[in-house]
Structure 1
Amino acid sequence: MSHETPMQRLDGIALWDGTAARGAGSISWQDGTIVEVAEGPADAAGAMAEYSIIPGLVDTHVHLGGYAGKGSVDWVSWPLITPGEERALHIAANAQRAARAGVTTLRDLAGDKHQLAVSRAFESGVLEGPRVLVHGQVGMTAGHGDLFTPPHYPHREPVADSPDECRKLVRQWARQGAHGVKIYTSGGVLSMGDKVGWRNQTNEEIATTVDEAHALGMPVAAHTHSTEGVDIALAQGADSLEHGTGIVAKHWPTLVERNIPVAPTLLINDAIADGRIKISAEAQEKAKSVVEERNKNFDGAGAAGVRFVLGTDANGFMVAFGDQMEEVRLMAAMFEWTPARALVSATSDAADAVGLGDTVGQLKAGFGADFIVIKGRPWENIADLRIENIAAVVSRGRVIAGSLPV
C-alpha cells in the first residue's frame, strides 16, 4: 500500500525563486519536495494575476522558549518556574505560529533539550511544524547567557569557566544532537545587571569552544554588541555574528572576504529603545546606546557588501513570531537595498547561512516544498511583504495557513 501523497501543482502564477524573478510559471510538489518549477509567460493572468510565490522565510536568530498562551506573564520568571514538559508545548506553538506567518525555517540560538525534542518531532512528522535548528549556549558565569537567571535562583543553565569546561560543554551539546553552539563576546541588553561592554570569557576559552565545535562539525554563532567583541569573534573564527552592533569599517573587508553572515536584529532593539514594550529602565537605556551605535556603524555596511541576513531575536514578547516581514522591510530601508536584495537576505542567503542552502530558501526541484503564496510582487515592492497579504503558507509540502488560490 503506497503512502505517497498526490502531486500538487499551481499554474500560471508569478514566481520569485529565492534569487530572481522567473515570470509566470508553475510549481509542482509531492511528499514535501518540489518536483518541478517551470517558467511560463512573462505575466500571470486571470485568477492568479494578483498572487505570486516566494520561498518561505528563514529566521537565523530566534528564541522559541517563551510563553505562547493568551494573556501575559512575566517573561523572565515564566521559563524558570514552568516544567520543561510544559515549556516544550509552548516551543512547538511558537514555532508553528512563525510558520503560519511564512517563516518556515528557524534557528533557535539559546536552545536546550526541549527545543531539540520539538525539532525532532517536527522532522519526523510526529507534529506538523517548520524546520528548527538549535544551538546550545557556551557562556561563562555572570555572562550574558547566565544573567537571565536571578542570582539567588538555584537552577541555572550550564556555564563554562575554563577551556576544559568549554570543551566539555561543546561535547555535551553534540551528544544531545545540537546543530551548533552559541558564544558571547560581549554583554547584552536584556540580561540583568549586565553591561554591553563586558568581556565574556577569555580568548583561550573562546578559542577552545570554536576549535571543539568545528572538530565536531558544529557552526559557532557569536553574540556581540561591541567593537572589541567583533574583533574577538573574527580572530577566533566564529561562523556568524549576532547583532553585530560594534561592526565598524575596519571589519568590512574581513566580513566580505570570509562571507560571514550578520543578523542585525533591528526591530527588537528599536522597540526596546523606543519604549514600545514594557521592559526595565536598565534594558531601555542599554538599547538606546546600542541603537545609536548601530545606526552609526551600519551606515555604508550594506553597500560595502557585508552579508546581513534575516535574524530577528524573536521571542514572542518583544518581537512576535510573525514580525519577521517587518524586520525584512526595516533591513531594506537600513541598508538601502532593492526589494529583491532584501528578499534574498531572508530566503536563499539566510538558508545558506544556517547550512541549509541546498535544502530550502529557493524554489528549485529537489528542495523542500516551503513557500508562501502572497498577494503582490514583494521583489518589486517590499511593502507587499506583509502578513495580511499571505494567501497560503506551504511547509514541508502541506498547506498550514490559508488556502491555495484556484
Structure 2
Amino acid sequence: MPESPLSHVAIWDGTRAIGAGRLAWEGDLITAVEATGDGGSPRYAVIPGLVDTHVHLGGYAGPQEQPWGSPWSLVTPDTERVFHIAAQAQRAMRAGVTTVRDLAGDALQLSVSRVFDDGVQVGPRVRVHGQVGMTAGHGDLFIPPHYPHRDPVADSPDECRKLVRQWARQGAHGIKIYASGGVLSMGDRVGWRNQTIEEIRTTIDEAHALGMPVAAHSHDAVSARRALEAGVDSIEHGTGLEESLWPLVTSRGIPVAPTLLINDRLADGTVPVGQDARAKAQAVVAERDANFAGAAAAGVRFVLGTDANGVMVRFGEQHREVRLMAETFGWTAERALVSATSDAADAIGMGDRVGRLAPGYGADFIVIDGRPWEDVSHLDADRIVAVVSRGRLVSGSLNL
C-alpha cells in the first residue's frame, strides 16, 4: 500500500506540539512524523484520535428517539442489536473518537470488536470488559425483576473466579466490577455495598492471573477504598474520591474516569429520568464537586471517560466532556487534550499503539481547524475537517 502523506499541518503528537510538519502513513501504520519548518502558520492541525475509556455501545442507534427505560434492549434480538452496537461505534469514530472501551459488554460487543479488527467492516478500536457483579447489584438492576433473560452474576468467590474465566474464554479484554450501587439502577442506592471484599479480591486476582485489567464502578469513598486496596486498575466515576484517598490513587497512578457530563444532565433534568434517579444524581454531583478540584490539584489521574450510551451522552459528544474536564479541574488546554489521547490510551493498556502520533503507531488521527492544545474550545466537532481511523479516511476530506 503506498504511503499517504499529509504536509504543511501543525502537529500535536499526543504530548506536545512539534510545529508545522508532515505526517505519513501506510495502511494502519504511521511511518513518519516530522517537523519541516515550513514558512508561515498552517491553518489546519493534526492531533491523535481521541480515546474514551468508558462507554456503553449497546443502545438503540436508529433515528427515532428512545427514552431511557425503553424496553428496546429487552425485546430486540441479538442478531439485530449487533448492528446498533457497530453503528454507535462508527458514530464515535466519525467524530474523531477512534478508540473506545465498553465497560459491561458481552459477546455482541466482542463480535463487533473482532469484525472491526479483521477489517470486515470499517470501525474504531473497541475494547470490551465483561462484568462480574452480584445478584441485586448495580449491574443486575437494569433489568425488571421478573424478566427471565438476565446477564450472568456471581455470588461467591468461586462464582466470581468462574465468571472471570468464562469472560477470558470469550476473549474479553478486561473485567468490570461494581464496588457500590449506582444512579440509574432500579431500586438501588449509591452507597450500597456490592459484593464482599473476598469476592472483589478473588475477581481481581483471577483477572490479573489471566492478563486482564479490572475497572471498578464506585460512587462513594468506602467503595473506592475497598477497590483500591484490593488492587483494582481503574476507578469509574470516582464520586467519593475524598482527600484521604488521594495519596492511594496518585501513588499507583490509578486512572479515574470522571463521567462529568452525564451526571450533570441527570442531576439538572436535561435528561428525563425518574425522580429517584435524579435525586441520586444530584447527590452524586454535590459530592463529586466537593472532591474533584482538590483531587485534580493533588495529581489524581483523570482521563476521558464519558459513560456515553447514545441517549444521555451521544457518541461524538466526547469533545464537550474534554472541555468540561478542563473547566472543572482548572487544566490547561494541553493537559485536557493529553487526558483524552496519550494518557487515556495508557490507562487502557494501549499506550504503545494509539493516543500518539509517532512512527510505528496506528494511523488514527483528526485534522482540525484550530489549535486545541492552545485553546480547548477548538476541540469541537464542528471544527473537524477529517478523521482517519486505522489508516482509512472515515469522515471529511484530506484535500486541504
TM range (shorter): over 0.9
Q: Secondary structure at the match of 1:221?
A: strand
Mark the CA change 1:65 to 1:295 in structure 2 (over 3 Å): closer, same or farther.
same
CA distance in 2, matches of 1:220, 1:377: 35
**Residues 28 and 390, structure 2, Cα contact 8 Å, conserved in 1:** yes
Aligned-partner residue type, residue 59 of structure 1: D
Assess if the C-alpha contact under 8 Å between 1:391 and 1:405 holds in 2.
Answer: no
How high is the TM-score relative to the length of structure 1?
0.97
Q: Which secondary structure does the structure 2 equivalent of 1:299 belong to?
A: helix
Pairwise mapping of residues 3-42 of structure 1 onto structure 2 (< 5 A)?
Answer: 5-41=1-37
- Give the whole-Å Cα distance in 2 for the aligned partners of 1:108 and 1:43: 43
Aligned to 1:358: 352
Query: For 2:334 and 2:376, how far apart are their aligned partners in 1?
Result: 8
Amino acid in structure 2 at the alignment position of 1:97: R
**CA distance in structure 1 between the aligned counterparts of 2:374 and 2:257, rounded to whole angstroms:** 23
Asked if the contact 2:322/2:337 (under 8 Å) is kept, the reply is yes
SS of the aligned residue for 1:199 comes to: coil
Aligned match of 2:235: 241
Distance 1:44 1:270, change over 3 A: farther
| Aligned residue number for residue 62 of structure 1 | 55
| Cα displacement string for residues 155-186 of structure 1 (whole angstroms, at most 9, x for unaligned residues) | 10000000010000000000000000000110
Deviation at 1:73, TM superposition (A): 2.6
Q: CA RMSD in A?
A: 0.9
- Aligned residue for 1:109, secondary structure, equals strand
Within 5 A, what are the aligned runs for 1:279-358? 279-358=273-352
Contact 2:184 2:277 in 1 (8 A): yes
The offset of 1:250, in angstroms, is: 1.1
Does residue 379 of structure 2 align to residue 385 of structure 1? Answer: yes
Structure 1 CA distance, aligned partners of 2:78 and 2:65? 19
Partner secondary structure for residue 26 of structure 1: strand
Which amino acid is the alignment partner of residue 195 of structure 1?
Answer: R
* 5+ residue gaps, structure 1: none
1:136 to 127, 130, 139: 130
Distance 2:67 2:81 in 1: 14
Partners in 1 of 2:92 and 2:178 — Cα distance?
Answer: 26
Post-superposition offset of 1:139: 0.2
Aligned AA for 2:20?
A
CA change 1:220–1:44 in 2 (3 A) is: farther
SS, match of residue 15 in structure 1:
strand
Q: State the SS of the aligned residue for 2:83.
A: helix
State the TM-score, normalizing by the size of structure 2: 0.99
Q: CA deviation at 1:72?
A: 1.8
* Residues 43 and 109 of structure 1: CA distance in aligned 2, closer, same or farther (over 3 Å): farther
Aligned length: 399
* CA distance in 1: counterparts of 2:68 and 2:120, whole angstroms: 28
CA offset digits 1:20-61 (Å, max 9, x no partner) = 00000000001111000011227654xxx2210000000000
The partner residue of 1:84 within 57, 78, 81 is 78
Aligned to 2:94: 100
- For the 8 Å contact 2:48–2:366, the answer to whether it is kept is yes
Cα distance in 1 for residues equivalent to 2:13 and 2:226: 37
Cα contact 2:57–2:109 (8 A) shared by 1: yes
**Consecutive unaligned residues in structure 2, runs of 5 or more:** none
Distance 2:40 2:48 in 1: 18
Moved more, 336-345 or 5-14: 5-14
One-letter code aligned to 1:50 = R
- Partner amino acid for 2:58? G
